[in-house]
Amino acid sequence: MATKSDAAEKAEPELVISKVFDAPRELVFKAWTEPERMKRWAVPDGFTMPICKIDPRPGGGFHYCRRSSEGLEFWQKGFYREVVVPERLVLTEFRSDQEGNMVRHPANPNWPPQLSSTLTFSEQEGKTAITIRMVSHSATEAERKTFEAAHELLQTSIGAALDKLAESISKACAQ
């Protein structure tokens, strides 16, 4: 019989990131589900997103490529488990090759093969709060620990992307 401490030890380490945008919820949601909008913000500085395919429906998916200024390509693929417009996205994602096959992280063999994320979009007095909850999916103990050790770095990199999203939305609202 599993004890409470056994269950706690086996729980997936969860990364939680929140941000408030000065924009309507529908616009923030579209930035996550429309390729042309996503290409504007979901890349680090010095990168482009030449390919971005999104089919935002339960069972649908996404597949995109982030390309560095040196020409290195980093592919990502995933599937939507739940889509509630404009309130919620539940998805599983993984590193892939150009054909969409799952691949291991090129620099970290202990990175979890898949991550599961839940994104909630809530209205707050004309603004939109987004909360991202991310866990490793079907990970080994070593992969869970690697993911947990990367939380601070992920907070920084995802936070930078959300800052770019805020800037992109601000420009869209100003037009």
Is residue 86 reached through a cis peptide bond, with omega within 30 degrees of 0 on the bond before it?
yes
Residue 9 has pLDDT above 70, yes or no: no
pLDDT tens-digit readout, 45-69: 999 999 999 999 999 999 999 999 9
pLDDT on residue 6: 42
More confident residue, 6 or 86: 86
pLDDT at 100: 97
At 119, which helix (H) or strand (E)?
strand 114-124
Range with the largest mean pLDDT of 30-34, 105-109, 123-127:
30-34
DSSP SS3 for 145: helix
Q: Rounded to an integer, what distance in angstroms lies between the CA atom of residue 90 and that of residue 144? A: 20
15-174 fold: Alpha-D-Glucose-1,6-Bisphosphate; Chain A, domain 4 (3.30.530)
- What does the CA dihedral 84, 89, 90, 94 come to, rounded to 10 degrees? 140
Of the candidates 87, 159, 155, which has an alpha carbon nearest to the alpha carbon of residue 118? 87
80 in Cβ contact with 100 (< 8 Å): no
> For residue 107, what pLDDT is reported?
86
Q: Which residues have CB under 8 Å from 86's CB, separation 6+? A: 25, 26, 28, 29, 30, 121
- Average pLDDT over every residue of 34-43: 96
pLDDT, position 173: 78
Largest CA distance in the chain: 60
pLDDT for res 7? 42
pLDDT digits (tens, 9 = 90+) for 161-174: 999 999 999 887 77
Q: Which residues pair with 123 in a beta bridge?
A: 128
| Interior angle at CA 60, CA 139 and CA 148, nearest 5 | 25
Domain ranges of the chain: 15-174
Query: pTM for the whole thing?
Result: 0.90
**pLDDT, tens digit (0-9, with 9 covering 90-100), for 111-170:** 999 999 999 999 999 899 999 999 999 899 999 999 999 999 999 999 999 999 999 998
